[in-house]
Each structure stands twice: as C-alpha cells, then as structure tokens.
Amino acid sequence: MKTRISSVLILTFIFCSTAFAQVLVGPVAGANFSWTSFSDKDLKDEYNVSPVFGYHVGGHLAFKVRKRFFLHTSLIYSTKGKNLKSEAGDLSLKLRYKYIEMPIVYTAYFKGHIGEKEFKYSLGVGPNISYWLGGKGTFENADTHEFHNGPSGVIPVDIVFGKDPGSATENEMVIQRPNRVQFGLNFTAGFLFEPVRYREVVLTLRYELGHSYLSRESDGVFSPTFPSFSESQKIRNQGFRISLAYLIDLKVEERKRGKSTIDRKRPK
C-alpha cells in the first residue's frame, strides 16, 4: 500500500508540473547530519546514540503554485546512520544506511535586501518518502573479541533483509521484516539567489523528523555466534540536511516563442 502511495505521488508531481506557469529543474547535492531515536525509554537509558555525517545527490524539481508559493521535490540518493554505544562501554555499533528519497516541500518565499542587492528567503513544510536500500557498518562487543578469528574484535557487517535470522553469518545483521518504505516530515528554511536571468541557486537547510520505524516486527539479529545482542528496529531516523540546487527555468523557451509570434503578427 505504501509503495502504491509513493508511486502515485511521484507520477502526480511529474505530470501536474506541466500545468504550472513556472517550472524549474536541476541538480541538487549536499551534506547530512543524522541519527536515530529509540521508542523504548529503557533503551534510551541503556545506549548512547551519536550522529554521523553523510551526503545526498540527485535531481530537483520546483514549480510555482501561487504568487509566492512553490512546491519543491527531489529524487535523491542519500546516506544516513548512527553510532551506538552502551553506557557500560562494552558494545559499539556503527551503521550507515542507504536510501532513495523524495522530499516534498510546500514553500513560501519572502523578499530581503542586502544593501541594493535583493534576495529571497523561504520557509517550508512537507512529507518525506524514503526507500531503504540497505547499509553496512561495524560491530564490537565482548563476544566478537572472544570468537572473532581476525586481528581485532571489530567486525564489518552488512544489513541483510528477509533472511532467516538463524542462518545469519558472522558479517551480517539480519532484519527479517524491515519497513523499507518510510515516511517522515520536513521543516525547511532557505535562500534563493538569481545569478543570471532564468537561473536560480537555492540553498536549503532541512530538519527531518522520522515517523516510520525501521521495523515494527523484527530486531537486527547477528550471527548465533554473538547471541548476547540484537538491535531493536523500533527506531526512527532524524537529522539535518543542507542542500544546494542549481535550477533552470524550463518554460523560458515557451515565453520566448510566444513573444516572437506576437512580434511577427504586430502590424507596422
């Protein structure tokens, strides 16, 4: 059901964009600062979660809805994650997640001035739709030091979906029933500059508040060799993102063609 909703939203914005007076498109990229939050208060007391840096890159689309209101959306590849440590200091789990995401933000623009230079600043809000591709990281606790055959107790791990947890290998964290389509809420603030006519540079700071758990039904399970730890997936992504987009007005040529036709038909 969630996959169908996501597909409908994507198609709606693609096809409806042609009906608006101003449509802008271009690349977007930037940096992420993300972490996860437990739903269980006891786990919050037992573990410390610290943020990690990541990045995102993709394409951006914006179209004018009303005089000062725009709808912004992107299709991006992004990395998120967290560093988790036990309060006792005997466990460390560092994970980096991979996502395909589509943030959708309804944005209002306001004019500002620096001397004689004019710029626009914005505030926005809207949903975030994410598809979880997987991830990897490292794991270390007392069991890894006792049973791992390598030179240290730190082992690399890959996140694996849908596998029987009992068959997890030493380098896998298995999530049997993941929630791969996830939803969140975006709050944004930004600045818009026009270096040349019909070109825009948009700088955006976004806070993402995750709504969906990574899984309601499954923990992250490691090899039976390490039976003392499984990671609760009743956790949500959170984080900040700074993005820079370079946008081109797609309907400039239509306006130019219309103007040329009028000029040719004007009587002398």
Highest mean pLDDT among 2-11, 89-98, 207-216: 207-216
Indicate if the pLDDT at residue 264 is higher than 80.
no
Per-residue pLDDT, 233: 92
What domains appear along the chain, each with residue ranges and CATH number?
2-265 (2.40.160.20)
With cut-offs at 50, 70 and 90, classify the pLDDT of residue 147: low
Sign of CA dihedral 11, 198, 114, 112: negative
Indicate if the pLDDT at residue 68 is higher than 50.
yes
Higher pLDDT: 109 or 171? It is: 109
Residue range 79-130, pLDDT digits in tens: 999 999 988 777 889 999 999 999 999 999 998 777 777 778 999 999 999 9
Residues 6+ apart with CB under 8 A from 204: 72, 122, 188, 189, 190, 241, 242, 243, 244, 245
Indicate if the pLDDT at residue 217 is higher than 50.
yes
Q: Per the structure block, which two tokens stand in for 23?
A: 């449509």
Average pLDDT on 10-32 reads: 71
Q: Is the pTM of this model over 0.85?
A: no
Q: What is the mean pLDDT of the chain?
A: 83
Higher pLDDT: 225 or 1? It is: 225
Cα-to-chain-centroid distance, residue 266: 51
Higher pLDDT: 227 or 131? It is: 131
Indicate if the pLDDT at residue 225 is higher than 70.
no
Length reported for the chain? 268
